[in-house]
Copies of this chain bind each other. A is one copy, B any other.
Amino acid sequence: MSKLRVAVLGAKGRIGSEAVRAVEAAEDMELVAALGRDDKLETLVETGAQVAVELTNPASVMGNLDFCVRHGIHGVVGTTGWTDDRLAQLKGWLEQFPETGVLIAPNFSIGAVLTMKFAQIAAPLFESVEVVELHHPNKADAPSGTATRTAQLIAEARARAGSAPAPDATVTALEGARGADVDGVPVHAVRLRGLLAHQEVLLGGEGETLTIRHDSLHHSSFMPGVLLGVRRVVTTPGLTFGLENFLDLN
């Protein structure tokens, strides 16, 4: 089987250089280009790239994708800053080139994506659900964006299912003891030297609990998700938003 020809855009950045290493290490891929800020996009065509991994910045991403789509090069995009307008524009381009696919993923960690998905499935099936996130103490926000998003998805799933509020007989509490309230879901943020990024979704029903825990122990954790995106995008024309769509969750 011939190898997938992959380029990395933003190859000099911290994440981009990890992506370069990951593509090089993947047996079913060949790294054909690793472009930095000043390199020309034409290289993608000259090297016959089939997929471009886009890890640049919001100022560059639209121009890069415009070029890729027009040349039939599929995109796997980790760059952030997506608005409805931008998404509509990208969809327009893809309608003109209906065989080309683009995956945009706010989170490439398979563990993080599955945690959110499993939490949504399980949340309406238990009486109680809370989120505990644990991070290194240099983090500026609490709770983490991932934990807040997870709690929101949990709340939406419970609202859709008509779940009752979780039971809580607390009468006297120290301020903060019961965590932050994110759409009715308590979220607790632990800060501890030695940790990187960790999250637990705790679900409880009569006589049993279910815990879904995700531990990010190294910043390379998003690489398997990038590689999976590369493998799948070539047979998935159009726009796909969210890695969960490539995870065969059913």
Contact = CB atoms under 8 A, between A and B. Distances in A.
A207 B202 contact: no
B176 A178 contact: yes
A186 B224 CA distance: 23
Contacts of A109: 208
A182 interface: yes
A115 interface: yes
Interface of A, secondary structure class, is: mixed
Contact of A189 (B127, B173, B192): B173
A220 interface: yes
Interface residues of A, number: 83
Contacts of A134: 202
Given A138-B169, A221-B208, A121 B128 contact: no
B111 A205 contact: yes
Nearest to A213: B211
A175 to B, nearest CB: 6
A64 interface: no
A85 B218 CA distance: 43
Nearest to A118: B118
A114 B121 contact: yes
Contacts of A62: none
Contacts of A128: 137, 191-194
How many copies of this kind of chain does the complex include?
4
A99 interface: no
Interface string A147-177: 0100000000000010000111111111111
A137 B182 CA distance: 18
B215 A170 contact: no
A222 to B, nearest CB: 8
A15 interface: no
Contact of A208 (B110, B139, B176, B178): B110
Query: Which 7 A-B pairs give the minimum distances between C-beta atoms?
Result: A207-B221, A192-B204, A207-B218, A174-B180, A208-B221, A177-B180, A194-B204
17 contacts: A111-B208, A125-B228, A130-B192, A132-B188, A139-B169, A141-B170, A175-B181, A178-B189, A179-B188, A192-B203, A192-B204, A194-B207, A195-B204, A208-B221, A209-B214, A210-B212, A211-B211
